[in-house]
Structures are given as structure tokens and as C-alpha cells.
């Protein structure tokens, strides 16, 4: 589902280009889960952004569902994000003016794949059925992240990317939310790439890849 081959990425600075990724490769099939770990500045979030078609590599290739992202213009990348990828951010990024139900269905409706039965099932698994009429500012952090998980999985994308999805939650809430996310991702059959600094959370995924100074350690 996701293939990254020999990817390099650098950013400009006052002192010249700063290399962030140096020849990173990974492969992730449908139904697999992979934790991406490393110290701050090791390139984890940059790699996730490349996998999510949110940025372009300087070298190497990124393919999602067999589609080489290098050959796509901005509109093509937006289509891949809409149709093939679900992203779960640390900051939740819910739409304040939309209800819980509308937030959960937002991505699926954009992709033209809204399924009322699947949405209701997710709401039940995530413990959100009684909250569907509420708005984000009426929810706890854990509840908001559960809504974000439902939104990412709503269209049943082939690839789920999670960037420190429990980073803004206390340990107990984070453990519970991660468990719900893993259950739903497994049920959907999607591939999961999750960035985390926690060895404990990384251990709950099937595989782990550790980055050090932009390279696979």
C-alpha cells in the first residue's frame, strides 16, 4: 500500500541546506502496522508528510496504492489524499462549526464514499453514539481524538497515517484511544504508519522502524 524508496529531503536554512532524510526506504502492505520512532529532529514527521502527499521529496520515490506521487501535480496529490489516505493529527484538527456526526463523515463525503452503516458502527466502537449531536468544544481531548479517528477511517482509505495521535492525552486516555484506533484500522484492512516517541505504544504495532539523523537505524 505504501512504498518509500531511497527518499531524501532537505530544507533551506541561513547556513545552507539541512538534510532531514538521507535515503530512507520502507514498504507497508495492506493490513500491516508500522511504528516510526526516533528522537526529535530525526525526520519522523517529515517522512509522514511525504507519505501523506503533503510534501514532495528531493530524491527517491513515494508510492501510495501503486501510484507514484512524483508524477502528480497538486490537484493529483489532493485527490490521492482525499481518496486513499486518512490522517490523524496530534492536535485533532476538527472543524468547530460541524457536529461530531458531520466531522466523522466529512472525509468520506469528500471522497464520495460515505457509508451510514460503517459510520454508525465506528461511532459505536469509539463510544461516540451519544455524542453525535455535540460540537468539538463540548468534548474532552480524548473524545475529540476519537472523532478524528472516525473521520480518518470514514472513507475506508487504504492507508492511515497517525502523527503522535495520543500526544495530547494523558497516559490512560491515550492507551484507550490507541486501542480503539488499532481495532478499527485492523477491521478496515488499512495499512497503518504511526509516528510515536513512546516505546510502549510502538510495541503495540506489528513492526517498528527507527530513524536516527535522517537514516534508518
Q: Looking at residue 79, what is its pLDDT?
A: 95
Q: What is the CATH number of the domain that holds 89?
A: 3.40.50.300
> Comparing C-alpha atoms, which of 158, 166, 157 is closest to residue 196?
166
The chain-wide mean pLDDT, for the chain, equals 95
Q: Looking at residue 150, what is its pLDDT?
A: 96
Section 51-74 average pLDDT:
96
Section 74-102 average pLDDT:
95
Q: Looking at residue 60, what is its pLDDT?
A: 97
Domain residues for the domain of 59 are 2-216
Within 8 A by CB and 6+ apart from 27, the residues are 2, 3, 4
- CA 108 to each of CA 101, 104, 151: distance values in angstroms, whole numbers, following the listed order: 12, 8, 8
Within 8 A by CB and 6+ apart from 72, the residues are 53, 79, 80
Confidence class of residue 145 from pLDDT cuts 50, 70 and 90?
very high
Q: Looking at residue 137, what is its pLDDT?
A: 96
Q: Do the Cβ atoms of 178 and 159 come closer than 8 Å?
A: no
* pTM score over 0.75: yes
Q: Looking at residue 190, what is its pLDDT?
A: 97
Per residue in 6-15, pLDDT (tens digit) is 999 999 999 9
Number of structural domains the chain divides into = 1
Per residue in 122-133, pLDDT (tens digit) is 999 999 999 999
Within 8 A by CB and 6+ apart from 96, the residues are 135, 136, 137
Q: Looking at residue 140, what is its pLDDT?
A: 95
Quote the CA–CA distance of 53 and 80 in Å, as a whole number. Answer: 7
Section 72-100 average pLDDT:
95
Q: Looking at residue 108, what is its pLDDT?
A: 96
> Comparing C-alpha atoms, which of 139, 143, 141, 131 is closest to residue 101?
131
Amino acid at each position: 500500500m505504501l512504498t518509500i524508496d531511497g527518499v531524501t529531503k532537505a530544507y533551506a536554512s541561513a547556513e545552507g541546506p539541512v538534510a532531514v532524510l538521507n535515503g530512507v526506504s520502507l514498504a507497508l502492505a495492506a493490513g500491516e502496522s508500522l511504528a516510526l520512532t526516533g528522537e526529535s529532529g530525526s525526520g519522523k514527521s517529515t517522512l509522514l508528510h511525504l507519505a501523506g502527499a503533503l510534501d514532495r521529496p528531493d530524491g527517491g520515490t513515494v508510492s501510495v496504492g501503486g501510484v507514484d506521487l512524483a508524477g502528480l501535480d497538486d490537484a493529483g496529490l489532493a485527490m490521492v489524499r482525499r481518496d486513499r489516505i486518512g490522517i490523524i493529527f496530534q492536535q485533532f484538527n476538527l472543524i468547530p462549526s460541524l457536529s461530531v456526526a458531520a466531522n466523522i463523515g466529512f472525509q468520506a463525503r469528500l471522497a464520495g464514499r460515505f457509508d451510514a452503516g460503517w459510520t454508525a458502527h465506528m461511532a459505536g466502537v469509539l463510544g461516540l453514539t451519544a455524542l453525535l449531536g455535540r460540537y468539538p468544544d463540548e468534548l474532552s481531548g480524548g473524545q475529540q481524538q476519537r472523532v478524528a479517528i472516525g473521520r480518518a477511517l470514514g472513507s475506508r482509505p487504504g492507508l492511515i497515517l497517525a502523527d503522535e495521535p495520543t500526544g495530547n492525552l494523558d497516559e490512560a486516555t491515550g492507551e484507550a484511544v490507541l486501542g480503539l484506533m488499532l481495532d478499527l484500522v485492523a477491521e478496515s484492512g488499512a495499512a497503518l504508519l504511526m509516528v510515536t516517541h513512546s516505546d510502549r505504544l510502538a510495541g503495540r504495532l506489528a513492526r517498528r522502524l527507527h530513524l536516527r539523523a535522517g537514516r534508518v537505524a
